[in-house]
């Protein structure tokens, strides 16, 4: 079983245990003896089964099990010890064991809440809060069920609950020192890139665009979705003037995957101020890396990108031979882009398909009718890519794959999630059952250029209750905190930095670091075995642990976030900061 499914199974069993004990408590309070016994047996089984799942999770990585071992297990154990023997001794009237059974239920429920609302890391404060909840709920049940707890016991219970509550709240809520992310700091003048050789103007505004014959309200660059395709030849200096006509939430341009100087990175509040209606901002940078990239607004990025503020950036070597096609995939108001197109290609012509995923979730791409190679991922050429046939590739949110092939005499077609988007002639193919390429085993290996790391960071991705803002929210968290409370990762210029990224949650997190490409070292403890993979966007699936590394060679303050932009908005954003 994968760690991801183990996490899901453990959650289901935990719910069963809590519901079982609580139900048994309620049934015994109502003197429904057989029901109470049945539910208690179910709860006991579930509790025992959890011993197995939690042990397995701990073996997959302490991150997956910490709070289960440290908080949920002791609580559940106490519940079983208190309720079990009393239940066995209860002959005749089962009502007498209602409170112990409820206690076991509260204990199991509290452990579950710690996992669902807080997660990793487990802290003493959270453990004490859980204990306070269990004691208080038990005391209240005891009074209600009229069993008249002895004054000593009830006073002791109140004292324990209050002490745990006070200590726990203190430990949990003590404000940590504000993270040193200087927002709105310096806007360094661009101008170091040299004389511009390619100039573009992008004007952001609300627009109505037609998709699949339907009029859709969009936010667009120059009235079109996607925005104009920006192309350059390696060595060009790009100058892009961004204007905002009427996007009230502001606009910026972020060059996704293009490792530009920090001042050109387009992150509002970090590298520049958002461009408001009537304003403009000029970006300038040298196009010194070839490859497939894209640009998008980083202001209110979730809604902005979704509504259409994105476009393609391609930097080509000179001269270009053959057919070179960009396929930026997007979902606009539920409608898929781009529209399907068919263009005959003469047999023998080299073809490059640049696949770009501009959505917030993974897409599945299948090329039918020809063997092909994956020549590049995220703009970086792969080493020794071998031919693939009838194989699909999964591209994470924000990611790009370049597929190359020599046009055969027969037609070829590209499918995205089963929908044909590009073809050289009529093709019908059922691609649903094709195997999926694992890029970590594709192409020719090369040694990792570093053997030691100057800085190592661990990012544990999860969900949790975030109480710091004005309104409590169920945030997407990193190490138990949500933006803007996640401490920045501080590095020095020249450091070799290693990230361990752990997904404890039930959903995929496409990870994206600005300003750098990271080299994949390992996934789930297995070293990457194929071509070196220099990525800027990679899917960390539930239960996965990725190790990636990079050299800190691009000074500044860089966003480091989940590229499911709704998650990024809901807390899953932090910063890499050069000291």
- Please give the residue ranges that form the binding site for ligand C2O (CB under 6 A): 254, 256, 296, 298, 398, 512, 514, 559, 561, 563
Query: Minimal distance in Å, beta carbon 481 to ligand C2O?
Result: 19
Query: Minimal distance in Å, beta carbon 455 to ligand C2O?
Result: 21
C-alpha to C-alpha distance for 48 and 578, rounded to whole angstroms: 48
Binding of Cu ion by 330 (CB under 5 A): no
Query: Minimal distance in Å, beta carbon 360 to Cu ion?
Result: 8
Specify the length of the chain in residues.
579
Pick between residue 400 and residue 563 the one whose CB is nearest to ligand C2O: 563
Token output for 309: 């503020």
Rg (CA), the chain: 28
Which of Cu ion, ligand C2O, none interacts with 561 (beta carbon under 5 to 8 A by kind)? ligand C2O
SS3 483: coil
Query: Minimal distance in Å, beta carbon 508 to ligand C2O?
Result: 16
Strand partners, 356: 328, 400
Strand partners, 328: 356
Query: Minimal distance in Å, beta carbon 403 to ligand C2O?
Result: 21
Question: Dihedral of the CA atoms 488, 490, 495, 501 (nearest 10)?
Answer: -30
Query: Minimal distance in Å, beta carbon 240 to ligand C2O?
Result: 16
Site string for Cu ion, 459-498 (x = CB under 5 A): ----------------------------------------
Which parts of 499-558 interact with Cu ion (CB under 5 A)? 509
Taking the alpha carbons of 240, 244, 245, 247 in that order, is the dihedral positive or negative? Answer: positive
Which of ligand C2O, Cu ion, none interacts with 509 (beta carbon under 5 to 8 A by kind)? Cu ion
Pick between residue 374 and residue 562 the one whose CB is nearest to Cu ion: 562
Single out the segment in contact with Cu ion by CB under 5 A; choices: 47-55, 168-176, 316-324, 559-567.
559-567
In the block, tokens 């019908």 appear at 428
SS3 155: helix
Pick between residue 284 and residue 298 the one whose CB is nearest to ligand C2O: 298
Query: Minimal distance in Å, beta carbon 572 to Cu ion?
Result: 5
C-alpha to C-alpha distance for 309 and 327, rounded to whole angstroms: 16
- From the list 400, 424, 404, 402, the residue with the least C-alpha distance to 413 is 424
SS3 56: helix
Query: Minimal distance in Å, beta carbon 178 to ligand C2O?
Result: 22
Strand partners, 330: 337
Q: Are 554 and 261 in contact (CB under 8 A)?
A: yes
Strand partners, 313: 230, 293
Token output for 286: 């040298």
Pick between residue 164 and residue 275 the one whose CB is nearest to ligand C2O: 275
Which of ligand C2O, Cu ion, none interacts with 68 (beta carbon under 5 to 8 A by kind)? none
Q: Classify residue 460 by its DSSP letter.
A: E
Binding of Cu ion by 562 (CB under 5 A): yes
Q: Which of 567, 569, 571, 577 binds Cu ion (CB under 5 A)?
A: 567
Which of ligand C2O, Cu ion, none interacts with 6 (beta carbon under 5 to 8 A by kind)? none
Q: Where are the beta strands (DSSP E) in 407-517?
A: 413-416, 419-423, 455-466, 473-478, 489-491, 496-503, 509-513
Q: Which residue is nearest to ligand C2O (CB)?
A: 256
Residues touching Cu ion: how many (CB under 5 A)? Answer: 4
The footprint of Cu ion (CB under 5 A) covers: 509, 562, 564, 567
């Amino acid at each position: 079983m994968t760690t991801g499914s183990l996490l899901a199974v453990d959650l289901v069993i935990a719910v069963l245990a809590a519901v079982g004990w609580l139900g048994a408590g309620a049934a015994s309070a109502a003197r429904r003896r057989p029901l109470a016994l049945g539910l208690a047996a179910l709860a006991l089984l579930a509790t025992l089964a959890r011993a197995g799942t939690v042990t397995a999770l701990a073996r997959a990585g302490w991150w997956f099990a910490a709070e289960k071992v440290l908080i949920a297990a002791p609580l559940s154990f106490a519940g079983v010890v208190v309720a079990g023997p009393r239940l066995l001794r209860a002959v005749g009237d089962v009502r007498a064991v209602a409170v112990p059974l409820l206690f076991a239920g509260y204990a199991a429920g509290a452990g579950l809440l710690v996992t669902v609302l807080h997660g990793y890391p487990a802290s003493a404060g959270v453990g004490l809060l859980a204990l306070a909840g269990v004691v208080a709920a038990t005391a209240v049940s005891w009074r209600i069920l009229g069993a008249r707890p002895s004054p000593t016991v009830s006073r002791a219970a109140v004292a324990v609950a209050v002490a745990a509550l006070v200590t726990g709240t203190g430990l949990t809520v003590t404000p940590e020192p504000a993270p040193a992310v200087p927002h709105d700091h310096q806007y360094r003048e661009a101008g170091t890139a040299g004389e511009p050789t390619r100039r573009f103007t992008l004007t952001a505004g609300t627009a109505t665009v037609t998709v699949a014959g339907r009029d859709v309200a969009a936010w667009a660059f120059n009235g079109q979705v996607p925005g104009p395709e920006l192309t350059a030849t390696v060595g060009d200096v790009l100058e892009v003037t961004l204007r905002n006509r009427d996007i009230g939430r502001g606009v910026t341009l972020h060059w996704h995957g293009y490792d530009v100087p920090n001042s050109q990175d387009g992150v509002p509040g970090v590298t520049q101020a958002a461009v408001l209606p009537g304003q403009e901002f000029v970006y300038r940078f040298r196009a010194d890396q070839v490859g497939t990239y894209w640009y998008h607004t980083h202001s209110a990025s979730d809604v902005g990108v979704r509504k259409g503020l994105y476009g393609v950036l391609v930097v080509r070597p000179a001269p270009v031979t053959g057919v070179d096609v960009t396929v930026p995939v997007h979902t606009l108001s539920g409608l898929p882009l781009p529209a399907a197109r068919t263009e005959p290609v003469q047999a023998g012509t080299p073809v490059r398909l640049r696949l770009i995923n501009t959505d917030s979730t993974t897409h599945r791409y299948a090329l039918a009718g020809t063997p092909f190679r994956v020549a590049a991922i995220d703009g970086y050429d792969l080493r020794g890519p071998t031919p693939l046939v009838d194989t699909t590739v999964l591209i994470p949110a924000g990611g790009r794959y370049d597929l190359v092939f020599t046009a055969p005499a027969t037609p070829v077609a590209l499918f995205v999630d089963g929908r044909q988007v590009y073809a050289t002639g009529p093709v019908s193919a059922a691609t649903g059952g094709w195997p999926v390429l694992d890029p970590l085993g594709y192409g020719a290996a090369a040694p990792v250029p570093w053997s030691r790391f100057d800085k190592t960071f661990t990012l544990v991705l999860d969900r949790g209750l975030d109480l710091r803002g004005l309104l409590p929210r169920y945030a997407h968290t990193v190490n138990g905190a949500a933006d803007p409370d996640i401490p920045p990762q501080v590095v020095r210029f020249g450091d070799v930095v290693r990230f361990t990224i752990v997904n404890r949650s039930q959903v995929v997190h496409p990870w994206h670091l600005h300003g750098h490409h990271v080299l994949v070292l390992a996934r789930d403890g297995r070293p990457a075995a194929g071509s070196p993979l220099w990525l800027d966007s990679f899917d960390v699936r539930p239960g996965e642990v990725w190790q990636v590394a990079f050299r800190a060679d691009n000074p500044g303050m860089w966003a480091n976030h989940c590229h499911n932009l709704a998650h990024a908005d809901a807390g899953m954003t932090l910063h890499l900061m050069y000291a």
